[in-house]
């Protein structure tokens, strides 16, 4: 778990495999909240926050409850000879969704309490994070860090740190894409666009062009 | 070295048409229409009644506020009526109509030489105010207001504007080479009023003879003549300061914020007349040019006289497409020649060729307007915002800093009417601020 | 097999219970009092966000309704049924107010132009160029800025170069009246069907010189009005809609036809009214 490795993860998830522009995850808030820069940034910050929390929480749950290895808590409590009896990998998706939903609910409550202005700005988009595939995506992608490979045997610490870095990188990449898109869309507001294309259609065009430009990062690593 | 500012364009200046025509007296009018709105700010208030006899140089309207100016009768005669009359800026404005009796009698105390050097700055300023002097470059902002900076603004230099960057116009040029003493003496009065010792006269490089005369005449009074690049809008206040002193007037600020006051050469000459000879602003120099007249001229016109007879004398051709008051870049097109000339008329252009009607097209984002905007604005965005009437965003994009020089419209390959759109935005922003 | 089922069930069960309890606690701890009436009213408002009420949008208006002492009638656009529901939500009595619509106070046929205007097609811009290109300094410029700002598509520019109001669609929000640089659009009560269809404050001679249907300030209508609702000021008659009894006496005496009675043509687009006048 060298610095280079962490940097590769961070940079990779932020630019090369950007959740929105390369993996096409989380498009709903991407189009919904990118109308002006202010909302886009606050949405991005919320996503960074939720992504980090989701990365940490799902990584702990995966490591201690769902993986069939020596550290599985259930294996340690109930004992037995074969830890693979406790391999619950098939539960991942549903458990992660549960965890993320709870987290977002929690964040929403805190935001309403602490900053009603921010809540009004994001309106209905906060619940969108609940079912945001970018969040679920980062949680599922994190699982790769827990897999043993020929070169190294993962520990909980390395898994956690790598997940955290992936969460931060993914969130920042998301925010960056939102910011770029909101800048473009603010200009689209006063651009004479053919009537049938006004609004979301032209935003799709712009997004696809941005996505193509992000292909340029592909060869970097 | 030739100094200049960032941006701008150099349209063909067409000054050859009239630059060699000496200043001549315009035909004396039988009747003058003295509009009460010849300046920026509050209209003047008439102080004469119908039937009153007025003499040459007598005040007929006093300033209607601090930012306002007085109006004097340039002829002796009878006040015929006071009624709304077409004027340069719009359809109708109150005007004092004076019938010339041809006696040419001066009002008491006028045309009497005095020694201005023995007067205090305050007395000089009051003299300028009551002489109805406004910025004769075309903006017609009352001069005494410009010469009264608040005490916290320290003025260290005065600039005289002899740039005359508008194509066609040669009135200031002729004034500088024919009557340089009036200009320099007037500038000395300005410097005395402001209490500065350093003065600059900016002259564009296409008027080398005027530059040399100004340099010689000004040298002994600490006045430096500066040669400036031939570029439009070199004569705009903020661009002139940037070129001569390298100072940038802050957004929303005035030249006095960077310690400068800029005055036109014509204004300086008028100030000299007012302070040294007790002659209020009665005449001014005006260029008549364009391909619509058979002989171009530089006239010393009487304020309030009708344009028609002057154009006739110049040989107005048939089929005039446009009659422009002022230069072709910032001037106003006027619907008829039945308009009295006012303090702001630096030129009249009768144009036939090259006056086309263009259909504006889409902005193609070529950024020519941005490259050439002397104020460093983004005219393309301002024009697009004006299209959708988003005036709040225009204000955020600094529409109020636009000097309406017209460079963006001149450069636009899509023929977009950018300045007009920004003008609309500015007007709406001002209206919403008032609320 | 059975163990797998048991383990997975227990994992999900335990997590579910834990999270449920956690959220329940959090919702108590972070609970915020909100007024459900704001949302309810917001749903009932037209949500056109036209801004005629003076607030940033329908949402802001709803908040002001609940927390301030505003009257529902401040919203010109809202349908009367919705207004009564909103009033009941607020627990207030609804004061019935009459529907208002826009009236165009100009019916020039042609006005000789003082000059040719080639600038941008916006009345506000045109007015900045030498005070507008029409000889009449109060009449319609005909570039249709009012029609572009109408949020309800209730104004359209007719072939005669004048704006026309579609009675059914107009809500009287007043956006057109605010934007008209000549100030020749006003908002008037629906039932007061008689209007001065001219805005010219020029003297009679000048008005006749530039328009066939201009008000010349002859004061005949002032004398004819039994209710004393018409007053002539600055060569322009003006009807006080609170006094007008819609008798039509003024329409009959007007020498230039500058007063119009819309009542015969209500429900139809006002363009029809002009052809009616031509027939007369």
B123's CB contacts (< 8 A; 6+ apart) are: none
| Topology classification of domain C36-90 | 3-methyladenine DNA Glycosylase II; Chain A, domain 3 (1.10.15)
Q: Is the pLDDT of residue A142 over 60?
A: yes
For C149, name the nearest residue in chain B, comparing CA atoms only: B389
Cβ neighbors of C257 (< 8 A, separation 6 or more) are: C212, C213, C277
Q: Which residues in chain B have Cβ-Cβ distances shorter than 8 Å to C130?
A: 89-91, 332-335
A101 — pLDDT class (breaks 50, 70, 90): confident
Q: Which of residues C177 and A84 earns the better pLDDT score? A: C177
CATH topology agreement for domains C98-188 and C191-280: yes
Whether B414 shows a pLDDT value over 90: the answer reads yes
Peptide linkage before B233 cis (omega within 30 of 0): yes
Query: How many domains would you assign to chain A?
Result: 1
Q: Find the helix or strand (DSSP H, E) in which A11 lies.
A: helix A3-11
Are C124 and B420 a contacting pair at CB < 8 A?
Answer: no
- Residue C274 is predicted with a pLDDT of 46
CA distance C124 to chain B (A): 7
| Mean predicted lDDT score pLDDT of chain B | 91
Fold of C98-188: Alpha-Beta Plaits (3.30.70)
Look at residue C270 in the predicted model and tell me its pLDDT.
42
Kindly list the residues of chain C whose beta carbon comes within 8 Å of any beta carbon in chain A. Answer: 3-4, 7-8, 11-12, 15-16, 19, 22-23, 26-27, 30-32
Question: Please, are residues B214 and B162 in contact by the beta-carbon 8 Å criterion?
Answer: yes
A54: chain C residues, CB-CB within 8 Å: none
List residues of C whose CB lies inside 8 A of any B CB: 114-115, 118-120, 122, 124-125, 128-132, 137, 148-149
Q: Which of residues 186-245 of B touch C (CB under 8 A)?
A: none
Looking at the predicted structure, is the pLDDT value of residue C272 above 50? no
Respond yes or no on whether ipTM tops 0.85: no
Cβ atoms of B7 and B372 closer than 8 Å? yes
Q: Which of A143-147, B27-31, C86-90, C147-151 has the lowest mean pLDDT?
A: C86-90
Model confidence pLDDT, tens digit, residues A16-60: 989 999 888 888 888 877 888 887 888 888 888 888 888 998 999
pTM: 0.82
3-class secondary structure per residue, chain C: CHHHHHHHHHHHHHHHHHHHHHHHHHHHHCCCCCCHHHHHHHHHCCCCCCCCCCCCCHHHHHHHHHHCCCCHHHCCCCCHHHHHHHHHHHCCCCCCCCCEEEEECCCCCCCCECCCCCCCCCHHHHHHCCCCCECCCCCCCCCCHHHHHCCCCCEEECCCCCEEECCCCCCCCCHHHHHCCCCCEEEEECCCCEEECCCCCCCHHHHHHHCCCCCCCCCHHHHHCCCCCEEEECCEEEECCCCCCCCCHHHHHCCCCCEEECHHHCCCCCHHHHHHHHHC
Task: Judge contact between A59 and A142, C-beta under 8 A.
Answer: yes
Q: Do C30 and A113 make contact, defined as CB atoms within 8 angstroms? A: yes
Q: Is the pLDDT of residue C280 over 70?
A: no
Task: Give 3-state DSSP helix, strand, coil % of chain B, rounded to 5.
Answer: 30, 20, 50
List A residues 22-61 in contact with C (Cβ-Cβ < 8 A).
61
Dump pLDDT digits (tens) for B332-361.
888 888 889 999 899 999 999 878 888 899
Q: Which residues contact C236 (CB under 8 A, 6 or more apart)?
A: C196, C198, C199, C200, C201, C215, C217
User: Please, which pLDDT band fits residue B180 given cuts at 50, 70 and 90?
Assistant: very high
Does residue A187 have a pLDDT over 70? yes
Q: How far apart are CA B1 and CA B76, in angstroms?
A: 50
What 3-state class would DSSP assign to B96? Answer: strand
CB–CB contact C120 B427 (8 Å)? no
Mean predicted confidence (pLDDT) in C234-240 = 90
Nearest to A65 among C11, C30, C31 (CB): C11
Distance from the Cα of B385 to chain A's closest Cα (Å) equals: 6
Task: Report chain A's mean pLDDT, rounded to a whole number.
Answer: 85
* Chain CA centroid to CA B417, Å: 23
Q: pLDDT, tens digit, for every residue of B34-85?
A: 999 888 888 999 999 999 999 999 999 999 888 999 999 999 999 999 988 8
- Cβ contact C125–B421 (<8 Å): yes
Q: Which residue range is the domain that position A94 belongs to?
A: 3-217
Interface test with C, best of B331, B359, B390, B424 (most C CBs within 10 A): B424
At C5-45, the pLDDT tens digits run 888 888 889 889 998 999 899 888 877 776 778 888 888 88
A chain contacts of residue C12, beta-carbon cutoff 8 Å? 91, 94-95, 98
Which residues in chain C have Cβ-Cβ distances shorter than 8 Å to A91? 8, 11-12
Q: Which residues of C touch B428 (CB under 8 A)?
A: 124
Confidence at C279, pLDDT banded by 50, 70, 90? very low
Chain C partners within 8 Å of A98 (Cβ): 12, 15-16, 19
Each residue of A166-186: pLDDT tens digit? Answer: 999 999 999 999 999 999 998
pLDDT value, residue C278: 43
Touching check for A192 and chain B: CB below 8 Å?
yes
Q: What is the pLDDT of residues B235-287, one digit of tens each?
A: 999 999 999 999 999 998 899 999 999 999 999 999 999 999 999 999 999 99
Please indicate whether, in this complex, the C-beta atoms of B334 and C125 are within 8 angstroms of each other: no
Q: What is the CATH number of domain C191-280?
A: 3.30.70.20
Backbone angles phi, psi at B156, to 5 degrees: -115, -15
Surface-to-core class of residue B132, CB atoms within 10 Å of its CB (0-12 exposed, 13-18 middle, 19+ buried): buried
Inter-chain CB proximity A109 and C27 less than 8 Å = yes
Chain A residues touching B363 at Cβ < 8 A: 192
Helix extents (H) in B259-341: 265-277, 307-313
The answer to whether the CB atoms of A190 and B362 lie below 8 A apart is no
Predicted confidence band at B173 (pLDDT cuts at 50, 70, 90)?
very high
**Alpha carbons B337 and B356: distance in angstroms, whole number:** 20
**CB contact residues (below 8 A), chain B span 363-402, against chain A:** 363, 381, 384-385, 387-388, 390, 393
CA of B363, closest CA in chain A: separation in Å?
Answer: 9
Asked if the C-beta of B179 comes within 8 angstroms of chain A's C-beta atoms, the answer is: no
């Amino acid at each position: 778990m060298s610095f280079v490795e962490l940097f590769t993860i961070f940079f990779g998830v932020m630019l090369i495999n950007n959740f929105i522009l390369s993996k096409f995850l989380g498009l709903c808030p991407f189009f919904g909240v990118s109308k002006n820069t202010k909302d886009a940034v606050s949405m991005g910050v919320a996503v960074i926050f939720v992504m980090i929390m989701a990365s940490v929480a799902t990584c702990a749950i995966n490591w201690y409850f769902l993986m069939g290895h020596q550290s599985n808590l259930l294996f340690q409590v109930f004992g037995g000879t074969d830890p693979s009896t406790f391999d619950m990998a098939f539960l991942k998706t549903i458990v992660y969704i549960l965890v993320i939903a709870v987290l977002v609910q929690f964040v929403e409550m805190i935001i309403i309490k602490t900053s009603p202005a921010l809540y009004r700005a994001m309106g209905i988009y906060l619940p969108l994070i609940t079912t945001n595939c970018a969040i679920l995506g980062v949680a599922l992608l994190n699982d790769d860090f827990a897999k043993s490979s020929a070169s190294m045997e993962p520990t909980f610490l390395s898994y956690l740190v790598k997940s955290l870095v992936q969460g931060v990188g993914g969130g920042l990449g998301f925010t960056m894409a939102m910011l770029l898109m909101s800048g473009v869309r603010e200009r689209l507001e006063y651009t004479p666009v053919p009537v049938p294309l006004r609004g979301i259609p032209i935003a799709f065009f712009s997004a696809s062009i941005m996505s193509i430009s992000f292909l340029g990062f592909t060869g970097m690593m | 070295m030739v100094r200049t500012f960032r941006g701008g364009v150099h349209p063909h200046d067409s000054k050859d048409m009239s630059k060699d025509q000496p200043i001549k007296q315009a035909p004396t009018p039988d009747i003058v229409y003295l509009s009460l709105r010849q300046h920026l700010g509050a209209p003047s208030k008439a102080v004469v009644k119908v039937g009153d006899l007025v003499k040459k140089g007598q005040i007929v309207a006093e300033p209607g506020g601090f930012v306002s100016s007085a109006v004097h009768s340039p002829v002796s005669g009878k006040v015929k009526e006071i009624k709304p009359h077409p004027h340069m800026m719009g359809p109708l404005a109150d005007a004092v109509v004076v019938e010339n009796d041809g006696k040419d009698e001066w009002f008491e105390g006028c045309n009497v030489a005095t020694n201005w050097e023995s007067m205090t700055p305050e007395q000089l300023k009051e003299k300028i105010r009551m002489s109805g002097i406004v910025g004769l470059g075309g903006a017609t902002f009352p001069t005494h207001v410009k010469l009264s900076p608040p005490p916290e603004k320290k003025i260290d230099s005065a600039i005289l504007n002899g740039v005359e960057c508008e194509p066609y116009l040669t009135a200031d040029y002729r004034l500088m080479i024919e009557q340089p003493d009036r200009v320099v003496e007037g500038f000395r009065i300005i410097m005395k009023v402001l209490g500065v010792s350093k003065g600059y006269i900016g002259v564009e490089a296409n008027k080398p003879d005027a530059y040399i005369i100004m340099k010689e005449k000004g040298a002994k009074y600490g006045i430096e003549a500066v040669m400036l690049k031939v570029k439009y809008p070199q004569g705009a206040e903020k661009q002139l300061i940037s070129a001569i002193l390298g100072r940038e007037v802050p957004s929303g600020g005035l030249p006095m914020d960077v310690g400068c006051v800029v005055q036109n050469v014509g204004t300086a000459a008028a100030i000299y007349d007012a302070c040294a000879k007790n002659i209020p602003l009665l005449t001014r120099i005006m260029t008549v040019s364009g391909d619509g007249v058979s002989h171009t001229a530089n006239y010393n016109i009487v304020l309030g006289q009708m344009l028609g007879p002057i154009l006739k004398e110049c040989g107005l051709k048939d089929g005039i497409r446009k009659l422009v008051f002022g230069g072709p870049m910032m001037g106003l097109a006027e619907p008829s020649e039945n308009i009295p000339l006012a303090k702001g008329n630096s030129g009249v252009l009768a144009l036939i060729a090259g006056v086309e009607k263009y259909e504006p097209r889409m902005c193609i984002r070529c950024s020519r307007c941005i490259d050439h905007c002397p104020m460093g604005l983004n005219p393309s965005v301002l024009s697009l915002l004006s299209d959708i009437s988003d005036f709040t965003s225009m204000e955020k994009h600094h529409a109020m800093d636009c000097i309406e020089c017209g460079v963006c419209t001149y450069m636009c390959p899509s023929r977009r009417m950018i300045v007009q759109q920004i003008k609309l935005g500015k007007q709406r922003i001002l209206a919403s601020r008032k609320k | 097999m059975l163990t797998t089922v048991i383990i997975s069930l227990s994992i999900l069960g335990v997590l579910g219970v834990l999270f449920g309890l956690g959220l329940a606690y959090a919702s108590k701890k972070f609970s915020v009092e909100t007024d459900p009436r704001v949302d309810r009213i917001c749903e009932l408002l037209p949500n056109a966000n036209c801004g005629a009420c003076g607030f940033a949008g329908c949402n802001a208006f709803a908040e002001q309704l609940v927390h301030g002492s505003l009257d529902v009638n401040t919203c010109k656009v809202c349908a009367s049924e919705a207004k009564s529901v909103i009033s009941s939500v607020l627990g207030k009595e609804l004061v019935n107010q009459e529907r208002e619509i826009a009236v165009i106070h100009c019916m020039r046929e042609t006005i000789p132009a003082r000059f040719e205007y080639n600038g941008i097609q916006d009345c506000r811009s045109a007015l900045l160029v030498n005070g507008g290109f029409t000889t009449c300094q109060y009449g319609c410029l005909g570039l249709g800025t009012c029609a572009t700002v109408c949020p309800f598509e209730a104004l359209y520019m007719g072939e005669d170069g004048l704006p026309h109001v579609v009675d059914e669609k107009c809500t009287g929000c007043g956006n057109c009246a605010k934007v008209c640089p000549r100030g020749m659009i006003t908002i008037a009560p629906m039932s007061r069907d008689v209007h001065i269809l001219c805005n010219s404050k020029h003297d009679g001679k000048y008005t006749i010189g530039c328009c066939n249907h201009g008000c010349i300030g002859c004061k005949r209508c002032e004398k004819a009005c039994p209710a004393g609702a018409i007053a002539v000021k600055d060569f322009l008659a003006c009807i006080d809609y609170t006094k007008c009894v819609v008798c039509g006496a003024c329409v009959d005496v007007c020498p230039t036809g500058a007063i119009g009675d819309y009542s015969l043509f209500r429900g139809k687009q006002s363009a029809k009214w002009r052809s009616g006048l031509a027939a007369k």
